[in-house]
Chain A
Amino acid sequence: MAPVSATPGRAEASTMARALREAVLAGIIAFGLFVLYVGLKTDQNISNELILVPRPGLLAIFVGLAMVARFLGVLYIQPAMKRRRDAKSAAADLELQPSYVKRNFSTIAIIALVLYPPLMVALFGTQGSLKWVDNFGIQILIYVMLAWGLNIVVGLAGLLDLGYVAFYAVGAYSYALLSTHLGLSFWVLLPMAGILAALWGMILGFPVLRLRGDYLAIVTLAFGEIIRLVLINWTEVTQGTFGISGIAKASIFGIYSFDVGAPNNFAKVFGLPMSAAYYKIFLFYVILALALLTAFVTIRLRRMPVGRAWEALREDEIACRSLGINTVTTKLTAFATGAMFGGFAGSFFAARQGFVSPESFVFLESAVILAIVVLGGMGSLVGIAVAAVVMVGGTEMLRELTFLKAIFGPDFTPELYRMLLFGLAMIVVMVLKPRGFVGSREPSAFLHARKSVSSSFTKEGHG
């Protein structure tokens, strides 16, 4: 470090000198690293001999990049970060009142979501809003709901569940099968799908009650795969990989339908031009309501004895038992409640797609949902919602980045790099915020003042 000097001019000069020095050092290291890998290339000449082709230009670019990055880093980024840290610690002493937006984040977010579809219609027209309402709005909200459901199991009860998508599948197939065979409506089957998924949650819960940590994770993973394999192989019922198509659409409580041929078709009744957008907008509000229901129930449950018992279970299971808490039923209720919301989301998914197949319920889905929960901060609803927007919205957004073709050539397809960028983003977030976007925990009751609990005290749960 440069010695602290009284005159700012000298301090700047010394930083500059240090930056130059470190840049040269970085250049030497980069040269050493890349001279063989980048600087030389083996090639075959006409007589099939291996020859070394030196690439000084490319090597120079690499070294130059390293030097410039290091120079800028030392000169600008490090002091800026230091200033920020200082400002933060100073602010902590002052007990700064959080900004208006921060305090009312949930309310503002809900209002924004309610206004989102009309805004999109106004901006892009009825047909143009389809992409924004469906691909972004509904898609993200499904993941928000799934992640909030999984949050009950992983974030509150501390039970690592890698097979959550199984309950999503149970919900989706419950709706698909019962509506095609029995002709029941969405609003009857929605609670039924939830109950069936909760039942399967309990069925999963029983064998894994004694398992903890890694063992629990493996068994839940296996459970997810079993459900998927049954869906593939039980062809008489599920039609295997072909999936079930032509699933009935949801209606506005039976009053207005979205079937094109129906006499009470929404667009016909109101004399609007035919468009798929109305159905999507309706679905947007349905999933919004379902997600808010999940949030409401979770918030309510956290203040109830069962919710506190979940969190206590995450902190210390043995202490729970010494306090007379039945850990068996506590775990089962956590599994069942989480699974129920997964089931709701699943039946909604089936109604939205009109088609379900086992391909939608692969392990990757479970992993993405879990990643959202971890990224958002286990237990925090706001953090998880933000993480879902970033993860799902971000990957959808990559499809839109057509301008990248101008830079990388017409063959460049940004979608192919989705997973790469996704992984990179996750690593960056986890390095900067190891406990997720919102790592602290809000206490469920307080005596004098509500103080959030720092993440250094909360535990992740043992299993």
Chain B
Amino acid sequence: MAVAPVMKPAASSADPILKVEHLSMRFGGLMAINDLSFECRRGEITALIGPNGAGKTTVFNCITGFYKPTMGMMTLRQKAGKDFLLERLADFEINKRAKVARTFQNIRLFTGLTVLENLLVAQHNTLMRASGYTILGLLGFPAYRKASKESIELAKHWLEKAALIERADDPAGDLPYGAQRRLEIARAMCTGPELLCLDEPAAGLNPRESLALNTLLQGIRGETGTSILLIEHDMSVVMEISDHVVVLEYGQKISDGTPDFVKNDPKVIAAYLGVEDDEIEEVIAEVEEVAHEVEEGGQK
């Protein structure tokens, strides 16, 4: 493909959990995403970065079903080997069946429910089945009581992980900002996801909270093996924790590789810092040279 010449020979032999192919999203005359392809590997943290307006959140909304993409295919392969075409699922089924959970850029908690209740709402589908779609639960069958106890145990587990156990009975809207971010991640984890999509989890956090977030995310990956896809502006978070970085600009992929590779990619540097007009030629030449080498390397 000619569009994205700069590409590290991808280790695509590794088991990908999410494969995005030729994804395009058009809003009227605006091409928000143009023919984007990338992969998230299982058990890794993939970061999606790019300047403002590059289309990162649009990619997220396509993956999690809030937008129907104009074109393209998104395949999610679960651990058990089951494949889901995300563009064909209704928004709630992406979480319910494909097991993709997400958080939002502007935190969306149930502010009037307590912290614990927020985590119980996240276990809706499990509890719904256990309560016989409400009917058996309403009649007081013991199966629901047992499931209800288990759901509280699971909530407790994630509250401890997110360091929120002390505030379990407070309204979610009463928590400080950093805690709300952690709660939203804990809530997403309570749905038992295989892929966790985080939209700017470190936005608005102070350095200490940022550090706590890194620990939480690495803990999630380490313990549950959940793959993580995250959008982030905070480079300290991106470079620290991600295994794989995809860079977007104007809806197209301009770089894809390890954090170190991306950090030194002239195209990325140009996109982030901007270059002088007379340097553009230079940068393009450099970029093409690199691309040439890569292509040759690939052919060999």
Contact = CB atoms under 8 A, between A and B. Distances in A.
Contacts of B187: 323
Given A315-B111, A324-B96, A324-B191, A443 B102 contact: no
Contacts of A319: 104, 108-110
B95 A443 contact: no
Contacts of B226: none
A325 interface: yes
Interface stretch (B19-27, B45-53, B114-122, B209-217): B114-122
Contacts of B188: 322-323
Nearest to A379: B112
A312 B120 CA distance: 10
A333 B124 CA distance: 15
Contacts of A318: 66, 104, 108
Nearest to A327: B92
The residue in A305, A306, A444, A446 that gathers the most chain B C-beta atoms within 10 A of its C-beta is: A305
Given A306-B134, A324-B125, A326-B92, A316 B169 contact: no
A210 interface: no
A304 B170 CA distance: 20
A309 B92 contact: no
A18 interface: no
A322 B159 CA distance: 20
Contacts of A311: 110, 112-113, 117, 121
Interface stretch (A244-252, A351-359, A447-455): A447-455
B121 A457 contact: no
Contacts of B117: 308, 311, 443-445
Contact of A324 (B93, B104, B108, B116): B93
B134 A316 contact: no
B173 interface: yes
B109 A441 contact: no
A309 B121 contact: yes
B156 interface: yes
A321 interface: yes
Interface in B103-160: 104, 108-114, 116-117, 120-125, 127-128, 131, 134, 137-138, 144, 148, 152, 156, 159
B232 to A, nearest CB: 19
A312 B113 contact: yes
A297 interface: yes
A451 B169 contact: yes
B228 interface: no
A451 B113 CA distance: 11
A300 B140 CA distance: 9
B173 A457 contact: yes
A458 interface: yes
B21 to A, nearest CB: 23
Contact of B114 (A306, A309, A453): A453
Contacts of B174: 457
A323 B191 contact: yes
A456 B124 CA distance: 25
A324 B124 contact: yes
A323 B121 contact: yes
B101 interface: yes
A322 B131 contact: no
Contacts of A303: 148
Interface in A78-102: none
A26 B83 CA distance: 78
A459 B92 CA distance: 22
B108 A316 contact: yes
B109 A324 contact: no
A92 to B, nearest CB: 16
Contact of A323 (B101, B137, B159): B101
A449 B166 CA distance: 11
Contact of B109 (A297, A304, A316, A333): A316
Given A327-B92, A449-B169, 8 more contacts: A321-B95, A323-B121, A325-B92, A443-B117, A446-B114, A446-B168, A458-B171, A459-B111
30 contacts: A304-B144, A305-B127, A305-B128, A308-B113, A308-B117, A308-B124, A309-B121, A309-B124, A311-B112, A312-B110, A314-B112, A315-B109, A315-B111, A315-B113, A318-B66, A319-B104, A320-B92, A321-B91, A322-B66, A322-B108, A323-B187, A323-B188, A323-B191, A324-B94, A445-B116, A446-B169, A448-B168, A451-B114, A451-B169, A459-B112
